[in-house]
Structure 1
Amino acid sequence: MDTTPGGTASSRPRQRGGPPRSVVSPALQAGVPEEVRRRVVPVGKDQRSPVLVELDLTVDVRTEDTRQRFLALYDHSMRGARAPNPRPVADCYVSCVLNPQEIQDLVAADRATGAARTVFRVWPDYTLHPHLDRSVSTIKSDAAVRSYAATGDGVIWAVLDSGIDQHHPHFASGTLTGAVATLHHDFTYLLSPDAEPAKDPDTALLDPEGHGTHVAGIIAGAVPDKVAPVIASQQPSQDGLPGGWVSRQLDPGRTLAGTAPQAKLVSLKVLAPDGRDGLVTSSSAVIAALYHIRETVNSGGRALITHGANLSLGCRWDPSDYAAGQSPLCREIDLLVGTGVVVVVSAGNNGYSGAASQSSDSRGELASITDPGNAQEAITVGSTHRDSPHRYGVTYTSSKGPTLDGRLKPDLLAPGERITSCATGHLRKKIAGLVTDTDAIAATYIEDSGTSMAAAHVSGAIAAFLSVRREFVGRPREVKELFTTNATSLGRDRFMEGHGLIDLMRVLSNV
């Protein structure tokens, strides 16, 4: 990826909401307790934290000129300091690793130059985490295939996640090859200040953890014909808690396929292991991936190669930074939608913990939607039961609205409980007892839950829709309106269900 984009004032993100109260985010200022800062971003032994510097583009000059002036300012302010080099990640954002005093010195030096300022805002580089067969009937995508041939053919969808395992048989029909073979990209190098970009693009087609492959399998692909899949289902114990894994068979007449089985997928790898049996990414990495879609792949909207993007990840955010939906990540999503790309985001899995947990934060917790689910233009998805949504309603862990500035979120619901999809990497290791050595490349599947899976259902449904109603390609706002106005209410509170459960058949019937 070209990490030093040019651009002019007309092609960059518009800075909205007026000047912030402070150039430096409160969470990054000196005197803030370390335990508070650690809730936002990792803090190293030298007290340095990853930050995103937003360049001041209010002066009508080339973005590249402002960036070069900032980099010169940085070199002057940080001379003698052993800090990682700054790295541009999009046209108006530069990733740095600084401590509170270095941030203050940098801002002061910017003010003292006498020239137009280069620093508009210094944000935390927020840490983001993933939002962890029968469900296709719930959203009626199987009926849409039979009635409208809505298979996703000709549609390309980006998956910003932990990678997609190219060797899983689910994707053997060309899901990751052909027109998308050169589009896969690994952005996880941005999680380490001194790391270099991967030389082999196929690293984006490796998934040691399995989250991205599970999400991707819900969107597209299918179990090959004449292949008997190994399907693992988790059975509850006698006390109702999660029990062991057992093998199950497909129900008669059913197959395992994504909601848009013939769509093409692009793996944009942003999540990596955090060393503690989990996955993590940063705002910088996700913004770089979104910018890559917008400017590198789609040429700023002039060539719509990638039609949609799925982000099954999110983070808590500090409302003292900006209004909900105005963070760098949310604004980058809005900008991408403005160029014709549908962006689907998981709402988060904080619906229960947000309501029940005690917090010392004096602001309290009015809602539990996470960034980037706060983005105005994103389609934010909550979770419901895979085959009995009207009975069980909204999943109790699914994040609830409204946004802190009063907007309705989530936008839609989709199945997210015990969803069967591809098993690889760490997920596959969970069912090692069900998989023999001869199953090394077998079509293995496992159940997993979360709004990650719900968002993938919506991405697949929209890809299927666009494959048969091509006139809506490049019109993401109209697509969002079609799916929200044709959703089915479950009779729950609107800040829990949004507009309701996605219904692909109703959308196709009513267009």
Structure 2
Amino acid sequence: MARGPQPARPRRKSEGNIQENLVKTRIGGDLSSFMKGKTDPPKGIGKAKHFDVIIEFNRDFPGGGTAARQLLFEAFLLYLNRIGATDESNNLWRFGMSPPLGMPAVSEDSKLDLSQMFSNGSRIAAKSLWTDSYAFATLTREAIDRLSSWTMPQKDDDKNKGETKSGSKNKKTPLVYKIWCDHEIKRCVYESVRTIKCDAAHASFAASGKGVVWAVADTGIDGTHPHFKTLRTLDLPDGLFHRDFTADNPDPTVASAAALIDSAGHGTHVAGIIAGRTSVLDEPKTDAVKKICVKSEVRNENGTKSTVKDTHDGVITGMAPHCKLLSLKVLANEKQGKLSNLLAAIGYVQRSNDYGRNIKIHGINLSLGYPFDPVWFAAGQSPLCVEVDRLVRSGVCVVVAAGNAGYGTVTQFSGAPERASHSGTIMDPGNAALAITVGSTHRDMPHTYGVSYFSSKGPTADGRMKPDLVAPGERIISCALYNGAKSGEVPFREDTGTSMATPHVSGAIAAFLSVRREFLGQPERVKEIFIGAATDLKRRPEFQGAGLLDLMRTLQAV
């Protein structure tokens, strides 16, 4: 018997959510969720009227994305002039803002119309000028809505006819491609140097990092620490400067000095794993150093922790002791930093390298990131991941932390909580396809203890295998802040996380490139070689990737 028309099936709530997530819009899913109150906003936003955003411009705009960005800048300057606030206007000009070639003719009325979206509290950060595709701004909900729908005004004759002179339909050109939320990013070695065979590589191949420059995007590097004085680790080749992106410093000298101040200690610890040397007895000795003190934590019988201070009489060295380090300060302290700071820092590396035409910075270490949500953007397609992949294609090795979200709490069927390993927890920018994403293993017994329980596990949300490698990340000893250290005493401390595993790989690659210089500027080939030479720890690939980093085998493989 034939069936009559069936009533429409009510759409379930989950189906509606999926459909909404896939709707094309110029407001990113992350920002939209915060604006609608569906997701807890980044710390500091609360229910404020303004949102920190990353504006990605439309490359199809007349004159390209740089012209679109310039138009927004000029509209913002009109707003500042209208309200009589000249400080920020002068600050933008001091950074050297100038109209790009191919800038279309836009009427003053149109610029004035665009400037109307700005209001009290609106801001465009001068660090935007370090990138070519983005602007970093603070805007109201109304301004975000208006900017997302603003299109290039059409000529009157075309507008009236509805067609161009060629007869094709007249298409309005939007100013922006997407507006994203400016996320908060978070920070995600004398025994571990043997674990990855860096000591053997130093002795057998003289793989010490000479002639290689590695950037560290972090909380800054303590420029007063003696570990970086022995081999003049922070003295950069001509044309390169340290840079602080946590504040708009148009004066290069001020910005450079600020990058060598670290109030948190995370960046200093990471930097000490990559490069530098501290020695009391063996040459080359560290000047004015009489004692190396190492602080570590021990667990007492009653479950409490206490700090133990030991003296070390030998040498503490980075994986590539002679490598030069470039400090890019993107985190103001241990817990605070904007994604826009990191995007600006990546833009700075691109410009320093003349976009791959003259590579001066050979690699960058990113021991930081933020949790990935597939509702916001596809895995590996966030603005940060896109810029990381672009940097790799320009000839720079990018080494990133997988994250520390590999273990947590799940709810049983009965409702009781239970602790368990979590798969699919790789953080951004670890989801970037071309980056070398690093998980953590034990400091000196990786075959016995395997992958660290906290190390984020793959695969990515779109099915790619990550992490790529694992390296020591548990109780790693490196530089502590030098502030307040006693005369002749150099402080070191333990720290744990994939943040500590990542610089092991950065240092090993710097050491490799110093003796296999034909691979400079070929980061994808370098990644392939290191993955192929890794040691299998007999753990699942979503835990260990290709396995444990092995510098000696990598050098012997080529």
TM-score, shorter chain, exceeding 0.5: yes
Distance 1:111 1:356 in 2: 51
Residue aligning to 2:331: 271
CA contact (8 A) 2:72 2:114 kept: no
CA contact (8 A) 2:68 2:176 kept: no
CA contact (8 A) 2:426 2:458 kept: yes
Distance 1:167 1:30 in 2: 44
Question: Residue 502 in 1 paired to residue 549 in 2?
Answer: yes
Question: Residue 48 in 1 paired to residue 65 in 2?
Answer: no
Larger Rg, first or second structure (1 or 2): 2
Residue 183 of structure 1 aligns to which amino acid in structure 2?
Answer: F
Residue aligning to 2:207: 150
The change in CA–CA distance for 1:104 and 1:62 in structure 2 (over 3 A counts) is closer
CA contact (8 A) 1:42 1:50 kept: no
In structure 1, runs of 5+ residues without a counterpart are 1-18, 359-364, 430-434
Deviations 1:179-216 (A, max 9, x none): 168410000116xxxx8777512111111111111000
For 1:324-473, list aligned pairs within 5 A.
Answer: 324-353=379-408, 367-424=424-481, 437-439=486-488, 442-473=489-520
CA contact (8 A) 2:34 2:40 kept: no
Residue aligning to 2:12: none
SS at match of 1:280: coil
Distance 1:280 1:198 in 2: 23
Shift in Å, 1:318? 2.8
Shift in Å, 1:122? 0.7
Deviations 1:124-158 (A, max 9, x none): 11110001x00000000000001100000111000
Residue 224 of structure 1 aligns to which amino acid in structure 2?
Answer: S
CA contact (8 A) 2:280 2:315 kept: no
Residue aligning to 1:213: 268
The change in CA–CA distance for 1:102 and 1:478 in structure 2 (over 3 A counts) is same
Residue aligning to 2:157: none
Distance 1:473 1:286 in 2: 23
Structure 2-normalised TM-score? 0.78
SS at match of 1:403: coil
CA contact (8 A) 1:418 1:448 kept: yes
CA contact (8 A) 1:73 1:109 kept: no
Shift in Å, 1:47? 2.5
Shift in Å, 1:237? 1.3
The change in CA–CA distance for 1:284 and 1:448 in structure 2 (over 3 A counts) is same
Identity in percent: 43
Distance 2:44 2:223 in 1: 32
Deviations 1:383-423 (A, max 9, x none): 11100011111111111111101111111000000001001
SS at match of 2:185: strand
Shift in Å, 1:46? 3.3
CA contact (8 A) 2:213 2:362 kept: yes
Distance 2:546 2:430 in 1: 15
Residue aligning to 2:539: 492
SS at match of 1:387: coil
Alpha-carbon RMSD: 2.5
CA contact (8 A) 2:236 2:325 kept: no
1:293 pairs with one of 334, 342, 349: 349
In structure 2, runs of 5+ residues without a counterpart are 1-21, 80-112, 155-170, 282-288, 416-421
Residue 123 of structure 2 aligns to which amino acid in structure 1?
Answer: N
Give the number of equivalent residue pairs: 463
SS at match of 2:406: coil
For 1:111-126, list aligned pairs within 5 A.
Answer: 115-126=172-183
2:121 pairs with one of 80, 83, 87: 83
The change in CA–CA distance for 1:473 and 1:60 in structure 2 (over 3 A counts) is farther
Deviations 1:274-298 (A, max 9, x none): xxxx422111100100010011x10
2:69 pairs with one of 59, 67, 70: 67
Residue 103 of structure 1 aligns to which amino acid in structure 2?
Answer: I
Distance 1:419 1:30 in 2: 38
Question: Residue 108 in 1 paired to residue 149 in 2?
Answer: yes
Residue aligning to 1:3: none
For 1:242-281, list aligned pairs within 5 A.
Answer: 242-249=305-312, 255-273=315-333, 278-281=334-337
SS at match of 1:452: helix
Question: Residue 36 in 1 paired to residue 96 in 2?
Answer: no
Question: Residue 185 in 1 paired to residue 234 in 2?
Answer: no
CA contact (8 A) 2:279 2:316 kept: no
Distance 1:313 1:305 in 2: 23
SS at match of 1:438: coil
The change in CA–CA distance for 1:60 and 1:41 in structure 2 (over 3 A counts) is farther
Shift in Å, 1:240? 5.0
Residue 29 of structure 1 aligns to which amino acid in structure 2?
Answer: S
Distance 1:31 1:408 in 2: 30
Distance 1:152 1:91 in 2: 31
Residue 281 of structure 1 aligns to which amino acid in structure 2?
Answer: G
Residue 231 of structure 1 aligns to which amino acid in structure 2?
Answer: V
Residue 48 of structure 1 aligns to which amino acid in structure 2?
Answer: H
**Higher relative contact order, chain-length normalized (CA < 8 Å, sep 6+):** 1
1:21 pairs with one of 21, 24, 30: 24
Distance 1:57 1:344 in 2: 28
